[in-house]
Each structure stands twice: as structure tokens, then as C-alpha cells.
Structure 1
């Protein structure tokens, strides 16, 4: 029998039992779609968390902490391959105030090596990096927090977030600001003031709730600032140093992290955090796929029953085929083709439905959750509730079609064992 005749044979039987075949395909579609949609939740949440982590910090950044009572050996660290820059930001346990015209604000003062900052590709929203000691760069919200005395009093009295003063609304680039120091134990600031020119503004933090009012200036100012405490009879405050290493590319983060750990340092990097998340979600996705597989196995019961009924109804037809010389392999192939057809059509429909459900979930769920929580901002967040990678589609398709073929194999084998004489004696 030609392949075309085999296809016609299968199609004719399907036409005779449209409703039963339709319900079987529907069961296969629901099982496969359930697997894909359920597993897509794990992929979606994992994708959201990975994006959140990568947005929140430099992807080539590695934080290094010395062991107790030890210091970092920068020469040793610099010898590690693929390190692009070592940025050490120093801060003092004191109050720092910055004055501009009739405005003032308190910010976090950090001293750093500007050359290393440049090598680490420090990103600015506007301006440039300092070229001399009298130039500084400020945080994204620095200008917005430069308030007048009247505005500050208003804030201290209590106002809604929407009514907060807008601060200095023009560009702060090129403007001159003054720095003054005030110990926490003292009632007043030191008489000394140092003038700086703002030449750059750092990027807006990835998280909306972070307010960046920090100030970066050259590390050469540290001796001058500590000398001011000694000149005013005050104890020099505690000085803290945070060390961050930047690798030449993302693929080298893992190797650099391992090398630093082998040297005895405490290390934290994005790669470690991503690995922990990937391990957790791997187990989570396997669990979801296992649950979804149960739905496919349940649908296989329907395919098995359909194929068993097909064999029973076509006993005489099978007998005639055997009588005219049809081989058992041909008869088995015909029934396997029919079960495969059910699996393929059900899988194709499931893929289409799954992508539609995924799209609607990512569009509607933020709106629904935002309305339920009473937070309009939630609908604007970039959250992926469902993500369907092509690997998941291939896995689900292989499982769905494979289960359909296995479900049809037993009835197909039964068809090959039908006795020709008894089949021909069966009444039409």
C-alpha cells in the first residue's frame, strides 16, 4: 500500500468518528498546553529575577572583603588575570553638608581614585569624570535634594511625597558647591569650607525607591579632611573602605571570583547570586514539568481508549486487509499513524494556545494585581509572569507526541493479532 493510500485510510476513519477524535485531540491539547503554561511560570519568574539583579548592579563587579584583622593586598589582587579596575571608595563616619547659593543638603561623601573609576566604566547621566582635585561628581538626586531653609522646615513638619520640594531644577553641571564637616557629637560645623565644581551626575539607580545623593571626590582629599578634625580638636572619625573589582568582561567574573576565594578573601559577585538562583529555579521548573507531565499522561488514557475502539470497530476491515495480503507491520503502522496524528494536531494546538495564554498573562496580571493591591505603579513594573523558551516547546512536544504514540502502540499490536477467519465472519 502506497503512503498516500495509508494517509487516506487514516483520514477516512477520522471522518467517520469526528466527535470522538475531536474530544481525544482536545484532551491531548489540554494536557500539553497545561505542561507548557505551568512550566512557563518558572521560566518567567526566573527571567524577571535575573533581569532585576543585572539591572541593580554592574554585571562585571566583584566585591572583595578582607579576612578579620587583615588588609587587602592590592598588588596580589591586580596580578589576577582579567581584572580591569580596582575601585576603593572610602567614607568617613561624619556629617557632610553641601551648600549651593541659598540651598543646602546632607549627602554621603565618598573618596575614590578617579582613574580607577574611569577604567571601571562608571556611567554618568550627564557631564564627565573629574580631571583635578577641585572637581566632583554627584548622585542622580543630588540637585533635587538641594533645599532652601523654608523648604526644609516644610519637609520636617511633614508633607506628602507628592508635595515634596523639587529642589534645584536646573542643571547642576558647572555649578560650584561648598563642603562643610560636622561631627555627630558636635553642635556646629567646622569653620573650614572647601569649594568644588560639579562636572558630572551619576546614572539614575535601577530601583525607583533608591535616592542617590552621594558625592564622589578624589581620594587625595582624605588627609586634608582628617587634618580638619585634628585642627579643631576633634577625634578623627572611623574610616571605612569598600573595595570593588571590575573584570574585563562578564564571562571572566566566575574565574576571578574563584581566584580571589583561593587567595583567602571573602568575595561576592553577580555570578554567585545568579548561580544560586539558577539552581533553585532548576529544581522549581523540574517540579512544574513533573506536574504538567501528569496531565499529558491522563490525556493518554483518552488516546488509548480511542484507538482501542478503532480496532474493535474495524475488525472486519482488518480481516479483509489481511486476507488480501496486508502485512502485520502495515496494519500496525496504520494505527500508529492515527495515534500520531492525534498527538501532532493536539500538540500544535497546545503550542498556539500556550503562547496566547502567556501573552495574556503578562498583559493582564499586572493590571489585576495592581488593582487588587490598590497600587497603580505595579502595572508599570517590568514583570514577566510567563516565558516560553523554545527548549520548553520542544520538550513538551516530544513528550506529548511520544505519549500519543505509546498509547496507540498497544491497540496497534492488538490489530495485528486479529484472526482473519473470525474477522470475516463478523457481521457488518
Structure 2
């Protein structure tokens, strides 16, 4: 029998029992769609969390922790392979105060190397990076931290500074927390740049960014006012390395660990997250497979009834020389056909459900939480990658063929004489 004739044979018998076959296909469709949609939630949550992590920081950033981070050590880090920049931000660790045009604030001073900052694109909203002594860049929310304690607004709160910043001069003072007093000496600073606003609305940048030219003056004031002063107590370092691309972050991190540094990079976090979600997605696929196994019971019953109803036809086929392998193949093709049709419909249905879920669920969640601005709610509930479609298709079609294998074997063992005696 030619392959085309085998296809016609299968199609003919499917048409005879349209309703029963339709219900069997429907069961297979529901099982497969359940697997795909369920597992797609794992892919969607992973993608959402990954995007959130990557949006919060530079993906090539590596945090370096060390008790002894002096200038030679920093220079050594810059010479390492695949390192694009090393930014050492030194923060003043004592009480601080800024003053400008009658307004005062408590913004923190950070000393950094703007040459290295420029390599990792220190973003400015306006102005430029410092080039001369005592020039600084201020955070985008610097003005919000400047208040006039003598003036109150309509709500009884101190008035905040709302004038221009670029080109303005302000004073910087600091002192000890122990006696809650500031040293008399002031350092005049000029604003030449304003940093770009952080990507997250809830992050407020009120810091003052200066270069190393400020450090001698700060140290001099500190030493002259504090007996037995240790300059090492004045600053603390926050060192960040930046790899030349994401692929080299892991290799740079591992090399640093081998040399005794404590490091942390987003690649470590992503690796742990990927392991967790791999286990989660495997579990969701396992649960979804149970639904397909339940649907396989319907395929088994349908194929068993098909063999019983076609006993005479099978006897005739055997009588004219059909081999047991051919008979088995015909019934396996029929069960596979049910699995293929059910899988195809399930894939189309799953993409539709995924699209609707991603469209409506954020609105429902936002309404439940009382959120008016949906723009801040960037959650993807369902993603269906081609790998998931492939896995679900293989599972569905394989289970369908296994379900039809036993009835197909039964068909090959039908006795010819008994089958021909059976009435139509």
C-alpha cells in the first residue's frame, strides 16, 4: 500500500467518527495548551525579573570589596585584561552641610575620577564634567535637598530652592557627629554640571560629585580640627570595575576572586536566578505533562474502539496480504494525526491566551492596587519561546503515539477467520 493510500485510509476512518475524534482532539488540545500556558508564566516572570535587574545597573559592573584599596591597587585593577574602567568613589563619612543663597542642605560629597567616569558614560542632564579645581557636578535632585528654614510654604513645610543651579557657587562644610558641630572652615564649590535623573522614579540623587583636587583641602580641615586624626577614617571607598562587555564579566570576576578580592557582579545574580527558574520551569512543564497524560486516556479509548469497530476490515486486509507492520503503522498514524492536530490548535490557542493575559492582567492588577499610571507597571506575565513550543509538541505527539501503540498492537493480533466471520 502506497503512503498516499495509507493517508487516505486514516482520513476516511477519521471522517466516519467525526464527533468522537473531535472530542479526543479537543482533550489533547486542552492538555497541550495547559502545558504551554502554564510553563509560559515561568518564562514571563524570569524575563520580567531579568529586565528589572538589568535596568537597575550597568550589566558590565563588578563591585569590588577590599579593606586595602589604595592608589597602586586601583591602578593595578585598571591594567587587568578585559577591564574597561575602574571607578573609585570615595565618600566623606562624617557630618556634612551645604549652603547656597540662604538655603542649607545635608548633601554628601563624593570624590571620584571623572576620567574613569567618562569611560562608563557618566550621564549629564546639562553642563559638563569638572575640569578645574573646586568644580563639581550635583545630582539631579540636589535642589530638593536645599531648604530655607526661615521660610514656610502653605503646608507649613520649609521652602525648597527653585532657582538655577548651573554656574552657581555654594559652600561645603563638615564636622563630627559626636558633638553635633561643624568646623568653621568652608570650601567654596562651583556647579558646572547636573547629573541625569536616575532611571527609577523612587531614587533621588542629591550627592555632590567632585574630583581629587578637593581632597587635600578636606584632609587639611579635618586634621586641623581633630586631634590624633586618622585620614583613613574620613573617606570610605566604593570601587566598581567595568568589563569591556557582558561576556567577559564572569571571567574578570573569577580572576579577581582567585587573587583574593571579594567581588560581586550581576552575572553571579543572573546565574543563580537562571538555575532557580530552570527548576521552576521544569516543574511547570512536569505539571503540564500530567494534563497531557490525562488527555492520552481519551486517545487510548478512541483507538481501542477504532480497532474493535474495524475488526472485519483488518481481517480483509490480512487476507489480501497486508503485513502486521502495515496494520500497526496505520493505527499509529491515526493516533499521531490526532496528536498533531491537537498540538497545532493548542499552539495557536496558547499564543492567543498569552497575548490576552499580557494585555489584560496588568490592567486588572493596576486596578486592584489602585494604580492610575500603568506605565510604571512593566510586568510580562507570559512568554512563549520556540523552545517551549518544541518541548510541548514533542511531549504531546509522543504521548499520543504511545497511547495508540497498544491498540495498534492489538490490531495486528486479530485472527483473520474470526474477523471475516464478523458481520458488518
Q: TM-score, normalised by structure 1?
A: 0.90
1:259 CA displacement: 0.6
Structure 1 residues 3 and 74: alpha-carbon distance in aligned structure 2, compared to 1, 3 A threshold: same
Q: Describe how 1:162-201 pairs up with structure 2 within 5 A.
A: 167-168=161-162, 172-186=165-179, 189-201=182-194
RMSD of the TM alignment (CA)? Answer: 2.5
Q: Secondary structure at the match of 1:121?
A: coil
Partner of 2:109: 109
Partner of 1:329: 325
Q: Secondary structure at the match of 1:382?
A: coil
1:368 CA displacement: 2.0
For residues 316 and 187 of structure 1, what CA distance do their matches in structure 2 show?
102
Q: What do the CA deviations read for 1:303-328 (whole angstroms, capped 9, x no partner)?
A: 11111111111111122222223232
1:36 CA displacement: 1.0
- Tell me if the contact between 1:133 and 1:217 (Cα under 8 Å) persists in the aligned partners: no
For 1:241, which of 229, 237, 241 is the aligned residue?
237
Determine whether 1:352 maps to 2:345: no
1:142 CA displacement: 1.8
Partner of 2:53: 53
For residues 376 and 315 of structure 2, what CA distance do their matches in structure 1 show?
66
For 2:276, which of 268, 277, 280 is the aligned residue?
280
1:92 CA displacement: 1.4
1:185 CA displacement: 3.8
1:152 CA displacement: 6.5
For 1:399, which of 388, 395, 400 is the aligned residue?
395
Partner of 2:81: 81
Q: Secondary structure at the match of 1:99?
A: strand
Partner of 2:125: 125
Determine whether 1:269 maps to 2:271: no
Q: Secondary structure at the match of 1:180?
A: strand
Partner of 1:15: 15
Determine whether 1:205 maps to 2:198: yes
Q: Secondary structure at the match of 2:190?
A: strand
Structure 1 residues 186 and 251: alpha-carbon distance in aligned structure 2, compared to 1, 3 A threshold: same
Structure 1 residues 26 and 151: alpha-carbon distance in aligned structure 2, compared to 1, 3 A threshold: farther
Q: Give the gaps of 5 or more residues in structure 1.
A: 159-163
1:386 CA displacement: 1.4
Q: Secondary structure at the match of 1:74?
A: helix
Deviates more, 1:120-129 or 1:181-190: 181-190
Q: Secondary structure at the match of 1:301?
A: helix
Structure 1 residues 394 and 165: alpha-carbon distance in aligned structure 2, compared to 1, 3 A threshold: farther
For residues 104 and 282 of structure 2, what CA distance do their matches in structure 1 show?
56
For residues 316 and 163 of structure 2, what CA distance do their matches in structure 1 show?
91
1:384 CA displacement: 1.5
Q: What do the CA deviations read for 1:190-245 (whole angstroms, capped 9, x no partner)?
A: 44333333233333323322211111100221120121234445767632111111
Q: Describe how 1:277-316 pairs up with structure 2 within 5 A.
A: 277-316=273-312
For 2:220, which of 221, 227, 238 is the aligned residue?
227
